[in-house]
Structure 1
């Protein structure tokens, strides 16, 4: 008869038996659900975000339209309509007229202001360098019709850069101050060095500035002169009202979308955490099982090694070696795993020694069962849920430690070609 082919086993158990034991406990099911979530989010990040996101993240111009230090957009659903949201104006009328060698492009749109804090700034973005690079660039004049029947006229302003920031223009500041002086007899309402944009949405009540809520109509007229070969098209123009809240997680001091940053970090952080946790658990399981199951001189030697590893200052050593040897993030992962298994190995050893002294183990030995049979049928099924627990709990610890090293700029990585990007406005794609 043909000899039966031996099945592949890990510590005496087939892969299917290990999987079955993992899912037999509540811990295993929860851990599996957690890993599925992490994997799904990582795959989503890899699919939806572009491979050049790391370079984009470090480009301040990419984020210049976003507010700085903005809280997340959902905060208004809790506090009410307090903060103005970021608005990318897409619904506007666009008409073109030619007269006496000048092209007049009129853009009209409406916004409804219903918040306690107005927009920080208004940006006019032209995504065609041929337009704003001309020797005589276009100019824009803006008329704002307010809910109380008054109007503010701003400009004309030259369109000589890709992004024109409306409120910081000295001419606009002067015109807004003039409006408040003539309408409400208040001078210098715009503080020195501040943007005039928020004051477009205020009125005066009893000598104090208060929000003027209601519908606003903006009419922008762009004047493109005859010597310009390019004319502003609808696809070239973007108008952004910079809000005070942004996205799912807000922004940092440079306007980075923190949600995109978190999403981009998922794939690499998951890989780093899993690799580190896997190495830690494999070493801890091998040391713990051998020490606890065989005892004697082997146990004594392995425990002295374990004590030495536990006493090592892992994080300071990681910093020192990263500086000395210019380690990458993957070098740091391996080092961290090699010096972090001690405590886990001791716990596994203690569990195995307790199980080994049980009466049913002694009965199995008397009956002639081999060590491997006892390990497979009586010991591993009891410690596998704990092994999974160790795997799960070591992942966030590894991510946090390695993130700290990256934050200190001590471990370079190959994530310069990282992943990212999704629901961003048209201007950010250029």
Structure 2
């Protein structure tokens, strides 16, 4: 398209409010697609357990009934005494190295049996509603152990001075394997639950953090030396982290795996644009070539091409996509290719009809009379005359490809490793968002699909009106 014709096209296009509206919406989604890594710090697929599964959006806290819900937080205890670290209490023959990393050593002389207790405490404030869960991680490096039996226990002391044992190593004469405390409140054994006075199905985190105020984590080591020989136990304490997953998170909350829904929405614009544009171009190119060749050469080529078109037109599109995606794999590129290959027959018929009108025109007959080849006539004379049909068809084909991919993903036949809007619908449907009326999980991807599809419909309709004089609106 020459610069003059492009200027004429834009002059006509910009007079259409519908076309400008579609262009503005499309530009918005393109900007979102390119700036997604800048708009959110999270990876939509890799970053999981950012908060509780199905956490509410953080802005829900402006409402009184949600104001106390916790966001994700970490209470970190540094490996040092006092300051941001531990306070301590020692009993028996225990020596404490107070420089970081914090190390305590139990020593008992030959032939003497001693016991010792090393207790490390850290106080923190919790001023929120009860969480659904919490996790504790801490490394314990055993430097030396000989002729000694130890037991390590982790307690949480509540504002009402109730002490809850949440982890215990049990008596042992060997270093911990693996050498760390790794605790998930959802996996606390029934034995410890019963000591808390809880039934097996009760939530430990809600029970322990039922009150607001100062809490204390207490790590207690009890060491017993053997009477028959020198006893030693030396342990270095690493950093302890109490992780409380939030019940609210981000702009749109989280999905069932604790992944950020807002990130999935932003990155989904990339996938939808890529799928829609790629599939539409594949479809239009195949349909354009088939229609040009069948319309110009006619006879057996035309007959064979049109019978293939008839077969593809009567096949049900979505069931065919479901079957073929199951056979060839659910890769996003397989889906793009299948969408393009199955969507060209209708456009091929339109192009063929236009070519049948053009091939008897005087300029075509003149070109044929001077000895021009069929390929020369097709690409030099016929193609420029049917390209206006292709421009509009590309824009109008993209919404169908976007919605077809969303349908496949909703039916669990899309690419499981791709953050598409259809996959958001699938997760919402499979993990209870519809039953809970979690509209912040359901409405945004649906609205995004609708707006992006409408933008291409507006653009395609306007292009058709501008390039097809019979459709132009008299203003």
Same fold (TM over 0.5): yes
What corresponds to 1:342 in structure 2? 345
Do the aligned partners of residues 14 and 335 (structure 1) sit closer, same or farther apart at CA in structure 2, a change above 3 Å counting?
A: farther
Whole-Å separation in 1 of the counterparts to 2:283 and 2:34: 24
**Matching residue within 90, 101, 120 for 2:132:** 120
**Matching residue within 30, 38, 48 for 1:36:** 30
Do the aligned partners of residues 373 and 166 (structure 1) sit closer, same or farther apart at CA in structure 2, a change above 3 Å counting?
A: closer
Q: Which has the larger radius of gyration?
A: 2
By how many angstroms is 1:224 displaced? Answer: 5.2
Do the aligned partners of residues 336 and 384 (structure 1) sit closer, same or farther apart at CA in structure 2, a change above 3 Å counting?
A: closer
TM-score, normalising length from structure 2?
0.55
What corresponds to 2:218 in structure 1? 221
Whole-Å separation in 1 of the counterparts to 2:127 and 2:257: 28
Do the aligned partners of residues 327 and 376 (structure 1) sit closer, same or farther apart at CA in structure 2, a change above 3 Å counting?
A: closer
- Structure 1 gaps of 5+ residues are 1-12, 178-189, 203-211, 357-361, 416-430
| Contact persistence 2:51–2:72 (CA under 8 A) | no
1:316-395 equivalence runs, <5 A:
316-324=319-327, 328-346=331-349, 380=387, 383=389, 386-395=392-401
- Structure 2 gaps of 5+ residues are 14-18, 78-83, 95-103, 105-117, 170-175, 223-231, 368-376, 420-475
2:121 aligned with 1:106: yes
TM-score, normalising length from structure 1?
0.59
Deviations 1:230-284 (A, max 9, x none): 2123xxx221223434444444444444455556666566544432222013223
Over the aligned positions, Cα root-mean-square deviation in angstroms equals 5.2
What corresponds to 2:370 in structure 1? none
Whole-Å separation in 2 of the counterparts to 1:387 and 1:23: 21
By how many angstroms is 1:89 displaced? Answer: 2.6
| Contact persistence 1:73–1:245 (CA under 8 A) | yes
Deviations 1:52-79 (A, max 9, x none): x96x57xxxx64x843343443444467
Whole-Å separation in 1 of the counterparts to 2:261 and 2:417: 20
| Contact persistence 2:121–2:218 (CA under 8 A) | yes
What corresponds to 2:73 in structure 1? 88
| Contact persistence 2:33–2:267 (CA under 8 A) | no
**Matching residue within 205, 210, 216 for 1:197:** 205
Whole-Å separation in 2 of the counterparts to 1:79 and 1:157: 35
| Contact persistence 2:140–2:236 (CA under 8 A) | no
What corresponds to 1:154 in structure 2? 164
Alignment coverage as a number of residue pairs: 349
Whole-Å separation in 2 of the counterparts to 1:174 and 1:156: 11
| Structure possessing the higher relative contact order (Cα contacts under 8 Å, 6 or more residues apart) | 1
2:375 aligned with 1:403: no
